[in-house]
């Protein structure tokens, strides 16, 4: 090949390469969370963002009102627009994004409704199809078969597992409508919640599920919050699994500008034995609300279930969860001590009744006027010799009849606990006694790793575990 021809060929290839690069660079790029089928929060100013050419005008048009927002990208090409969303409905919309000289980026089948951010560890991550054969989900087949009825009203974005040493700008996870093909892979708790909520409000519900089995609460804290809590990373191994902020950086931070109605949280199993869990939980709630710029955003949690944990501190962790919920505004906690079988409590950390958990979460998110979403909480004890009367808050309608109440223990001055007989009195109180204790000084209920509760109020909600002693 003559030298001039060779140089000409190289020049052409170089120009072609630059042309392709320029073309790629000129394209509008959007994060996964703005895929087709996405759900936007109704009656809100929602953020829409992506990347374009640096310092360029970007136009964003929403079909529900026909208005166009024009914004300018920054030096890195990042741009953000705000759209005002209408009332929730079952209508379908489009959003088109464009810059001069570029083809339009179109988001199709956009729904306007409620969006909930769902996070935690494996009990939040666990799919509708279950983890067979050891960990099935009750009623999974009917949930999957009927999911086609919710195609227009329930949509899920399952965020792919990822971790990072510093905050990322993007994460992977596109929206999918409910269907017999897609629903088996959705979070069972989140899907149950969305299904029940959509039925109650009759408009679309979107669930963003960002969860990782076996994760610690510290991994979901921003770095500044971890430092505030005195949580230190392994200096010798930045990627060590328990290190703080790894999951927040990769699976929360990229979504902090996506407008949501509130948060669902199911985590705690990995932190059993942590005496500072309540403070970490309150800090996580405060930091996420701050990141989303929603200081009063609802935050609803799920209590860890009875299970044979490696140490006997599960009751303390549940107490810490309750403490965090009670001390935080616009917060709630679902009690789960009635939702396991004896076999599950002994050997399955993933109980199968996720349908009821979702239903109880909905009662917090969309509280019926006639129903208190809180389970009964210990209020006071009146001891008189060998008997004690226990009173509860959140029990206005009293208890369901129960001739065989289990889970109560009493102790005398020797601090030795014995099984106690229990009966409902005055419809709203419980009287306990034991032939082994002549002078009751302390009472416990469901205070053990695997103790299953069977005392419920007339709303069908189980009593939270409690202890009156501090021994």
Together in a domain, 459 and 381 = yes
Together in a domain, 177 and 245 = yes
**Which of 86, 111, 136 corresponds to the end of one domain?**
111
CATH number at residue 36: 2.60.40
Together in a domain, 333 and 437 = no
Helix (H, G, I), strand (E, B) or coil at 62: strand
Sequence-separated contacts (24+) of 175-179 with Cβ below 8 Å = 175/33, 175/35, 175/36, 175/37, 175/38, 175/39, 175/206, 176/37, 177/37, 177/109, 177/151, 177/152, 178/147, 178/148, 178/150, 178/151, 178/153, 178/154, 179/147, 179/148, 179/151
Q: What is the pLDDT of residue 26?
A: 54
Strand (E) or helix (H) holding 140: helix 140-146
Classify the C-alpha dihedral 131-136-142-147 as positive or negative. Answer: negative
Write out 227-295 in H/E/C secondary structure: HHCCCCCCCCCCCCCCCCCHHHHHHCHHHCCCCCCEEEEECCHHHCCCCCHHHHHHHHHHHHHHHHCCC
- Between CA 79 and CA 81 the distance in angstroms is 7
Together in a domain, 402 and 330 = no
Together in a domain, 388 and 407 = yes
Together in a domain, 120 and 225 = yes
Task: Specify if 343 maps to a domain.
Answer: yes
**Which of 343, 365, 387 corresponds to the end of one domain?**
365
Together in a domain, 149 and 245 = yes
Contact 219, 247 (CB under 8 A): yes
Together in a domain, 76 and 194 = no
Classify the C-alpha dihedral 31-32-34-40 as positive or negative. Answer: negative
Together in a domain, 14 and 96 = no
415 burial level (CB within 10 Å; 0-12, 13-18, 19+) = exposed
CATH number at residue 400: 2.40.10
Number of residues that make up the chain: 471
How many other CB atoms are there within 10 angstroms of residue 33's CB atom?
20
Task: Specify if 39 maps to a domain.
Answer: yes
Task: Specify if 399 maps to a domain.
Answer: yes
Q: What is the pLDDT of residue 468?
A: 98
Contact 96, 75 (CB under 8 A): no
Together in a domain, 63 and 122 = no
Together in a domain, 64 and 175 = no
Task: Specify if 372 maps to a domain.
Answer: no
> Which segments of the chain have a pLDDT < 50?
1-25
Task: Specify if 188 maps to a domain.
Answer: yes
Together in a domain, 434 and 463 = yes
**Which of 322, 344, 365 corresponds to the end of one domain?**
365
Domain extent at residue 13: 1-27
Closest CA to 126 of 308, 351, 461, 311: 351
């Amino acid at each position: 090949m003559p030298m001039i021809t060779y140089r000409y060929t190289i020049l052409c290839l170089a120009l072609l390469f630059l042309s392709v690069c320029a073309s790629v660079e000129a394209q509008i790029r959007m994060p996964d969370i703005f895929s087709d089928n996405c759900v936007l929060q109704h009656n809100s100013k929602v953020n829409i963002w992506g990347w374009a050419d640096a310092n360029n005008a970007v136009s964003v048009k929403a079909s529900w009102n026909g208005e166009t927002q024009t914004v300018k990208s920054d030096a890195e090409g990042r741009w953000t627009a705000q759209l005002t969303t209408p009332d929730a409905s079952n209508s379908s919309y489009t959003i088109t994004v464009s810059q001069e000289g570029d083809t339009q980026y179109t988001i199709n089948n956009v729904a306007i409704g409620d969006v909930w951010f769902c996070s935690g560890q494996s009990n939040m991550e666990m799919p509708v199809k279950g983890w067979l054969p050891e960990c099935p989900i009750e009623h999974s087949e009917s949930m999957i078969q009927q999911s086609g009825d919710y195609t227009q009203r329930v949509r899920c974005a399952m965020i792919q597992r990822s971790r990072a040493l510093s905050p990322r700008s993007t994460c992977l996870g596109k929206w999918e409508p409910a269907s017999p093909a897609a629903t088996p892979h959705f979070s069972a708790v989140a899907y149950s919640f969305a299904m029940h909520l959509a039925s109650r409000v009759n408009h679309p519900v979107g669930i963003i599920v960002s969860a990782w089995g076996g994760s610690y609460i510290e991994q979901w804290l921003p770095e500044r919050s971890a430092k505030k809590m005195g949580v230190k990373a392994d200096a010798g191994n930045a990627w060590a699994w328990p290190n703080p902020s790894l999951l927040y950086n990769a699976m929360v931070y990229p979504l902090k500008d996506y407008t949501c109605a509130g948060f669902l949280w199911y985590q705690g199993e990995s932190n059993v034995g942590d005496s500072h869990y309540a403070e970490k939980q309150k800090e996580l709630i405060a930091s996420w609300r701050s990141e989303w710029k929603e200081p009063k955003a609802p935050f609803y949690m799920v209590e860890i279930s009875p299970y044979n944990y490696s140490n006997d501190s599960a009751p303390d962790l549940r107490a810490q969860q309750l403490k965090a919920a009670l001390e935080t505004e616009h917060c709630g906690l679902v009690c789960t001590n009635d939702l396991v079988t004896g076999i599950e409590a002994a050997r399955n950390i993933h109980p199968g009744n996720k349908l009821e958990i979702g239903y109880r979460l909905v009662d917090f998110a969309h509280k019926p006027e006639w129903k208190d979403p809180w389970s009964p909480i210990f209020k006071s004890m009146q001891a008189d010799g060998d008997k004690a009367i226990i009173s509860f808050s959140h029990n206005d309608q009293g208890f369901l009849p129960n001739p065989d109440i289990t889970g109560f223990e009493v102790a005398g001055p020797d601090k030795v606990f014995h099984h106690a007989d229990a009966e409902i009195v005055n419809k709203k109180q419980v009287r306990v006694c034991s032939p082994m204790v002549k002078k009751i000084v302390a009472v416990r209920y469901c205070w053990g790793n695997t103790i299953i509760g069977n005392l419920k109020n007339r709303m069908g909600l189980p009593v939270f575990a409690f202890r009156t002693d501090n021994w």
